[in-house]
Amino acid sequence: MIGFWRKIYAKHDNVKAYSLLSPALILIILAMVVPMALMLSFSMFTQVSMMEIDYTFTFQRYIDFFQKSLLVTLLIKSIKISFLVTLITLITAYPVCYYIAFYVKKNKMLWLVLLTLPFWTSYLLRVFSWKIILGTKGVINSSLINAGILSEPLTFLMYSETAVVITLTHAWAAFALLPLYVSLEKIDFSLIEAGRDLGLSRLEVFWKITFPLSLPGVIGAILIIFIPTVGDYVTPALLGGIDGRMLSNMIQAYFGKINNIPMGAASATIMLTTVVLITIIVSNVTKKLTQRLT
Amino acid sequence: MNNSFIQINNISKHFVDVKAVDDVSFEIKEGEFFSLLGPSGCGKTTLLRLLAGFEYPTSGNLLIDGTDITALPPDKRPTNMVFQNYAIFPHLNVEKNIKFGLRKLGLSNDEIDKRVKDILTLVKLKGYEERFSNQLSGGQRQRVALARALVRQPKVLLLDEPLGALDKKLRDEMQLELRTLQKNIGITFIFVTHDQQEAISMSDRVAVMNDGKIQQLSAPNELYKNPENIFVSDFIGETNFLKAETKSSDGEFINVSIEELGEFKIKNNLNIPANSSDVVCTVRPESMMIDKEKSDWDICLDAKICQTSYLGEMTRFYVEAKGIDKIITVSSQYFNNQSFDNNECFISISLEDISILNKKKPVL
Amino acid sequence: MNEKNSTLLIYTLLYFGFLYVPVLFLPIFSFNDADYMSFPLAGFTTEHYEEMWSKRNLHKALWASIKVGVVASVVSTIIALFAAKAFARYKFRGNKISYGAIMMPFLIPEIILAVAILIIWVNLGFKLGLIPVTIGHTLFCTPFAMLILIARIEGFDFSLEEASRDLGENAWGTFFRVSFPLYFPGIIAALLLSFIISFDEFILAFFLTGSDATLPMYMWGQMRFVQRLPHVLALGAVIIVFTTFFVLLAFWLRNVGQEKAKKDIGIKL
């Protein structure tokens, strides 16, 4: 009898692999797939009163969502802010990665560790730090006023969309740096030298050789920044004010003060769908871009 | 002595779309030094791993000393393996590496110590007990791997191209040492290699493999003198292939028309059919004679030397001989590239050095 | 690569400044003798640290975070270790789908995970508290741990495990005597980084802790409404020092382990 099972186990790599994978897969199913399926179901219910939920299936919540201009605005704003943050982070981080990949010879690892070190400290604290920096009585304003450059504090720096974008650009920088660095590092420097040798200017070499080859890292960075940013709660809550609110703040309200679970679930589902759609679009665009460039 | 100590019965191993081992059957004798020889991808390593228990056969079964081991995991088989990259545990010193496999044998501590001492002496690594893998040379690591496997006194020792990473001189020395070792301890060795010189010099018998099938299984001199098909003929040593057509049969012999040279009586060892053009004749470079003058051998041809390769112990001549369509290789220990005026020479061939083979490759 | 590019260097250093300065403000102001966080600095004091030390709720929250962090990091590292072994070692069908599935918590905005777990937990009739937070953190840390461990295991020489089996050890024996000692630095790195992620994590805790606060929850409570709480800065500074230490340790271990392993395994054929 043991021999029979032994045979099956020995014969199939599949069996071996899946027995090792089972704890992880069970965790994913029980702690993520099932809860999300339930969340989806709840998005089809109706909150009748504080304690009561009507469990009849309906798509009304989704219709409600798109009829409320506030929610639609928040959704669009969340996407817009995420795009901005992604773009700015990418553009500001790219040169740094380029420098470390091509111009640093010794201790590259050390540079990277130092670069990513700030990000292993509490996210909450970093956001709070920006509150200190950007606030009306904060570092920037008080220094500039004391130095006599300003007579009144700059108000747009706090409780605004601007504050959110600035803070998030800082918050996710490390996530951009790592994948970008990895793909830049893989580029054979002799390709760049060959480009110069063939008469291309520095800029042309960058656009025609370096950048296309670094695309996988760019794409990785885009996804890693964009996805968490869309759903970020802390930054808009701490320094977004009214202007800088994002969808996640609304979702939290639905589960908190407003107590409309189905609406909350529906909003979350819509956020998820948006993220998935954008991810699919980005990967397809990347595939086509890489095909054309290689 | 058990002549079917190891039985390999209709073993096949398929990987997705590749037949790594294709319905192979043969037997290995107890105490034999047996080699699996072939080019990369021929299936020899897969076959070895099937014997060790690291792969499970798609079909067929394996027996060692009468026991069916097919479904047994590696730790329960009476085999031990010397890995191609030695697989020395980097976190254990030499002594602990060698002791590693003794834990599960239920021996007393005294017995363990004795065995370890003896094996270290046998592989000439006494004094190296405390060293770690990164403090050993390639040859020393190889001995540790050998010692570690042998100390368990397995019924069968499997060696996966163990000498591949060593330089030539060390390799030649190790070949001799392994051979002597095997004869002294009497364990059955199954040795995998792609180096035909290695296989021929060390083994009692060799199985030549290609495309997952056994091409020929014989003693080394049989392989060399009487290859049974084109693959073996080409793989072992150097061969010249000559166009041929069989005419009439003549008992043990067969009349063959060779290139433009005419008809000759060749010994028909493989029962090649008469009146066939699906055949080829082979003759080894070292069996032909190159000389400045004509000889009285069965065949003597005018020839012109196109190229030479000086190899120290012999010289290889690439010649165009009259009546033969292609350039043939002749090797000689007597003459070198300086010897011939105008590159003109005579090539002599004896009929008993010509073999006749089928063009298609039969398999066992 | 012989040229030096000073513009890029200056830019890089400025960028470093941009990254570090906000973080450095916390320790700076934690010693500042004032209730407002602005320049010029008022004077040096350690009273905020003393205040921090005395708050009982802070200690409770700290302890809660440690408990959650230890459990989440240990469980997720174990789960990730087995999964990483499967991906690095075996070719099997459904490879990519399984990988994508296990990476999913990483690829979805955390708030959605938080909401989903909240809904199921409450509807199953359980109370909110540290347990659902731990489950959420385990879920969230597993992909991180797995990435670290896959990278580590991929550099591993599998013939070492085969050799162990060949020498008579069964699968468990092989794991304890060969694999585990060699994976060890990677395991420690995964543990440390998972712990830090859990310790730091806010949104899952926010939705799921109910009345048992974790440290980020405590800080949130202090930050949210009242501006003048310098002892939070002191707390922040302490956390920064500790986290930095652990991160450096994790990276050092990861690299030391790999250098040694590469040297020891010797000839690569």
Domains contained in chain C, number: 1
pLDDT of residue C269: 28
CB nearest A25 (choices: C98, C223, C247): C98
Q: CA nearest B54 in A: which residue?
A: A10
Residues of A in contact with C32 (CB under 8 A): none
For chain B, what are the domain ranges? Answer: 6-233, 238-358
* Cβ atoms of C253 and C97 closer than 8 Å: no
> Which one of B18, B69, B77, B85 would you mutate to disrupt binding with C, by most C Cβ within 10 Å of its Cβ?
B85
* Cβ atoms of C220 and C229 closer than 8 Å: no
Q: Does residue B110 come out as left (phi exceeding 0), alpha (psi in the -120 to 50 range) or beta?
A: alpha
Strand order in the sheet with B59-64: B18-28, B6-15, B59-64, B67-68
CB nearest B75 (choices: C160, C170, C178): C170
* Cβ atoms of B261 and B246 closer than 8 Å: no
Shortest CA gap C243–chain B (Å): 30
Listed residue (A31, A19, A220) closest to C101, CA to CA: A31
Q: CB contacts < 8 Å between A and C, how many?
A: 239
> Which one of C7, C14, C19, C222 would you mutate to disrupt binding with A, by most A Cβ within 10 Å of its Cβ?
C19
Residue C1 has pLDDT above 50, yes or no: no
Residues of A in contact with B56 (CB under 8 A): 7, 10-11
Cβ distance B73 to A11 less than 8 Å, yes or no, reads: no
Residues of C in contact with A230 (CB under 8 A): 109
Partner chains of B (3+ C-beta pairs under 8 Å) = A, C
* Cβ atoms of C3 and A93 closer than 8 Å: no
Q: Sign (positive/negative) of CA torsion C123, C129, C130, C131?
A: negative
A16 has a chain B CB within 8 A of its CB? no
Reported as a single tens digit per residue, the pLDDT across B81-95 is 999 989 999 889 999
Band of pLDDT at residue A6, cut at 50, 70 and 90:
low
In sequence order, the 6+-apart residues with CB closer than 8 A to the CB of C183 are C81, C149, C152, C153, C156
Reported as a single tens digit per residue, the pLDDT across C208-237 is 988 888 988 888 888 766 555 677 788 888
The proportion of chain B whose per-residue pLDDT surpasses 70, expressed as a percent, equals 98
Residue B59 has pLDDT above 70, yes or no: yes
Mean pLDDT on A159-173: 87
Partner chains of C (3+ C-beta pairs under 8 Å) = A, B
Q: How many Cβ atoms from other residues are within 10 Å of residue B68's Cβ?
A: 13
Band of pLDDT at residue C268, cut at 50, 70 and 90:
very low
Residue C240 has pLDDT above 90, yes or no: no
Cβ distance A103 to C91 less than 8 Å, yes or no, reads: no
pLDDT of residue A203: 83
CB nearest A35 (choices: C26, C90, C116): C116
Q: How many Cβ atoms from other residues are within 10 Å of residue C86's Cβ?
A: 26
For chain A, what are the domain ranges? Answer: 1-42, 60-293
Coil, helix or strand at residue B152: coil
Is residue C6 situated within a structural domain?
no
Cβ distance C247 to A120 less than 8 Å, yes or no, reads: yes
pLDDT of residue B284: 92
CATH of domain B6-233: 3.40.50.300
Mean pLDDT of chain C: 83
Mean pLDDT on B141-163: 94
Q: Which of A176-180, B211-215, C193-197, C255-259 has the lowest mean pLDDT?
A: C255-259
Phi then psi for residue B16, to 5 deg, are 45, -90
Is residue C106 situated within a structural domain?
yes
Q: How many Cβ atoms from other residues are within 10 Å of residue B153's Cβ?
A: 15
Reported as a single tens digit per residue, the pLDDT across A270-292 is 999 999 998 888 888 877 877 77
Residue C252 has pLDDT above 80, yes or no: no
Strands B262-267 and B253-258: antiparallel
Reported as a single tens digit per residue, the pLDDT across A236-248 is 988 888 888 889 9
> Which one of A75, A81, A102, A120 would you mutate to disrupt binding with C, by most C Cβ within 10 Å of its Cβ?
A120
A6 has a chain B CB within 8 A of its CB? yes
B74 has a chain A CB within 8 A of its CB? no
Partner chains of A (3+ C-beta pairs under 8 Å) = B, C
Reported as a single tens digit per residue, the pLDDT across C87-119 is 888 877 788 888 888 988 988 899 999 999 999
C134 vs A192: which has the higher pLDDT? C134
Reported as a single tens digit per residue, the pLDDT across A193-212 is 888 888 888 888 888 888 88
Shortest CA gap C92–chain A (Å): 5
Q: CA nearest C15 in A: which residue?
A: A96
Write the CA distances from B167 to B86, B236, C41, integer angstroms: 16, 22, 71
Phi then psi for residue B252, to 5 deg, are -70, -20
* Four-way CATH pick for A60-293: 1.10.10.10, 1.10.1040.10, 3.40.718.10, 1.10.3720.10: 1.10.3720.10
pLDDT of residue A11: 65
Mean pLDDT on C8-22: 88
Mean pLDDT on A117-129: 82
Mean pLDDT on C10-37: 83
CATH of the domain at C167: 1.10.3720.10
Shortest CA gap A294–chain C (Å): 24
DSSP symbols for A108-157 = HHHHHHHHHGGGGS-HHHHHHHHHHHHSTTSHHHHHHHHTTS-SS--STT
Residue with tokens 């808009």: A236
Reported as a single tens digit per residue, the pLDDT across B287-335 is 999 888 888 998 899 999 898 888 888 889 999 988 888 899 998 888 7
Residues of A in contact with B53 (CB under 8 A): 10
* Distance in angstroms (rounded) separating the CA atoms of residues B176 and C200: 64
DSSP symbols for C117-173 = HHHHHHHTTPPPSHHHHHHHHHHHHHHHHHHHHHHHHHTS-THHHHHHHHTT--HHH
Is residue C33 situated within a structural domain?
no
pLDDT of residue B267: 87
Shortest CA gap A129–chain B (Å): 46
Coil, helix or strand at residue B281: strand
Mean pLDDT of chain A: 84
Mean pLDDT on B201-220: 94
Strand order in the sheet with B253-258: B262-267, B253-258, B240-250, B279-283, B355-358
Residue B262 has pLDDT above 70, yes or no: yes
B238-358 adopts what CATH topology? OB fold (Dihydrolipoamide Acetyltransferase, E2P) (2.40.50)
What does DSSP assign to residue A177?
A: H
C160 has a chain B CB within 8 A of its CB? yes
Question: What's the predicted TM-score (pTM) here?
Answer: 0.77
pLDDT of residue B24: 94
Reported as a single tens digit per residue, the pLDDT across A67-95 is 888 888 889 989 999 999 999 999 999 98
Q: CA nearest A8 in B: which residue?
A: B71
Is residue C1 situated within a structural domain?
no
| Farthest CA pair distance, chain B | 77
* Distance in angstroms (rounded) separating the CA atoms of residues B195 and B232: 13
